[in-house]
Structure 1
Amino acid sequence: MISAFVAGVVAGYGVAIPVGAIGALLISLTARTSLRVGAAAALGVATADGLYALAAVLGGAALAKVIEPVADPMRWAAAIVLAGLAIKTVVDARKQSQRKEVTARSAYFGLLGLTVLNPATIIYFGALVLGMQADVVPDLVHGMVFVLGALLASASWQLLLAGSGSLVGRVLTGSRGRLVTALVSSGVIIVLAVRLVAG
């Protein structure tokens, strides 16, 4: 059981720690809104990672084969959504209305949906689970412990990113600071969105 949990923690950090477009969006969102909204968004990302870990345990290899043919359209969809969010971020920051519009609920479901569009996550978890099926995840109970470890690891990392976004937000409290944060983060998100479809 412990080895399954540790394997889940390692897998969760493995998929969460590389800060890509989702991480940049999470930090930027928290900086412009509040820690409460950022934490909700962070838990949305972690939920998606946990769902993908669960899908991998329940049938990762088969699911990865189903997703692989549509991986490119999913990447394009994620890139388009990210680019749209980057543009909306700048527009909202210029209007200075984003602070009022984003709720914890919308942040949670928004980041959950966006993270689900990342086909690499299920392929990553599927390959991991397939590779260690016999030793670490021999049955459903061990599989659920693996999923719990992955979920907790992802949640802790995403909440750390949200916390760092909150610190940035406190430093840049003025409207000009929020606009600069929005412009920089939108630029980073667009670059990462382009890399998503280019790679």
Structure 2
Amino acid sequence: MSASLAGMHPLADALALGLLAGLALALPVGPVALLVVSAGLTRGFRVAAGAALGVAAVDAAYAGLAVTVGGRLAAALDGHLPLVRTAAALALLGVAAHGLRRTLATPSAAERAAVLPATVLPATARPELAQSARAFGRFVALTAVNPLTALAVASIAVALGPHLAGPARFAFVLGVAAASAAWQLVLAAAGSVLRARLGPRARTAVSLAGHACVVVLAAVIALG
């Protein structure tokens, strides 16, 4: 690997490694991925896109830590893993409870309007930007305490940290961000496609199933 990075195009090599690492972080279907799909299903693509970019931002930040702090990050996480697991499980349970309550609640007039085509709604009835920003913040916090992401980045730190220096680190982090954002946006789009094609009862059933899976995964994380 070090020989590859020492070749004619070290920045391109680092970018390619970042893309592969970003896909390795993003592709496994876990609780956060399920919640991104659920956001697209229940809130539409624009809000889900905010959530997707929040996940990608944390993946990129963790990648930056991985290539600068390296093995020290892995050691620090290993020493506090029970606390990280507990915090992650509680965060996931909170998000799942909020999602289940929202799914089961009787839709308000504003929520009923949200499922209408955007072309028939006035601009004041579509605060997607604010909702997207809130989704971004929620998913930044949720992904930051997810031990699965943290442990995956710690592994990357041990493997790649010593082989990346200077501008190559920036190229690597850029690759991670691009790959993670691309995949998370695919999940957001998948949820929004289901939103458009499924009826209200089917959307409710899928959303309930997704949040129930998050509850199960929270229990698995808490139990180690």
**Same fold by TM-score, threshold 0.5 exceeded?**
yes
Go from structure 1 to structure 2 and tell me whether the alpha carbon gap of 1:179 and 1:133 turns closer, same or farther (over 3 Å shift).
closer
Once the two structures are superposed, the pairs formed by residues 85-104 of structure 1 within 5 Å of their partners are 85-95=95-105, 96=107, 99=111, 103-104=131-132
- Tell me the equivalent position of 1:59: 69
2:192 aligned residue (152, 161, 166): 166
Kept in 2: contact 1:8–1:147 (CA 8 A): yes
Q: Deviations over 1:96-146 (max 9, x none)?
A: 2595798111100101110000234333223323323454x1x12111111
- Tell me the equivalent position of 2:154: 126
- CA distance in 2 between partners of 1:85 and 1:125 (Å): 23
- Tell me the equivalent position of 1:81: 91
Q: CA RMSD in A?
A: 2.0
Once the two structures are superposed, the pairs formed by residues 1-199 of structure 1 within 5 Å of their partners are 1-95=11-105, 96=107, 99=111, 103-135=131-163, 137=164, 139-174=165-200, 176-199=201-224
Higher Cα radius of gyration: 2
Using the TM superposition, give the Cα deviation of residue 170 of structure 1 relative to its aligned residue in structure 2, in angstroms.
Answer: 1.1
- CA distance in 2 between partners of 1:25 and 1:156 (Å): 16
Go from structure 1 to structure 2 and tell me whether the alpha carbon gap of 1:84 and 1:133 turns closer, same or farther (over 3 Å shift).
closer
Could you tell me the percent identity over the aligned residues? 32
- CA distance in 1 between partners of 2:132 and 2:213 (Å): 23
Kept in 2: contact 1:55–1:122 (CA 8 A): no
Go from structure 1 to structure 2 and tell me whether the alpha carbon gap of 1:124 and 1:93 turns closer, same or farther (over 3 Å shift).
closer
Kept in 2: contact 1:90–1:179 (CA 8 A): no
- CA distance in 2 between partners of 1:92 and 1:164 (Å): 20
Go from structure 1 to structure 2 and tell me whether the alpha carbon gap of 1:81 and 1:122 turns closer, same or farther (over 3 Å shift).
closer
Q: Deviations over 1:15-66 (max 9, x none)?
A: 1100100001110111000100000000000000000000111112112212
- AA matched with 2:14: A
Kept in 1: contact 2:60–2:176 (CA 8 A): yes
Using the TM superposition, give the Cα deviation of residue 184 of structure 1 relative to its aligned residue in structure 2, in angstroms.
Answer: 0.9
Using the TM superposition, give the Cα deviation of residue 178 of structure 1 relative to its aligned residue in structure 2, in angstroms.
Answer: 3.1
Using the TM superposition, give the Cα deviation of residue 163 of structure 1 relative to its aligned residue in structure 2, in angstroms.
Answer: 0.6
Give TM-score scaled by structure 1 length. 0.90
Give TM-score scaled by structure 2 length. 0.81
Kept in 2: contact 1:60–1:127 (CA 8 A): no
For structure 1, which runs of at least 5 residues remain unmatched after alignment?
none
- The alignment of Structure 1 onto Structure 2 pairs a total of residues equal to 196
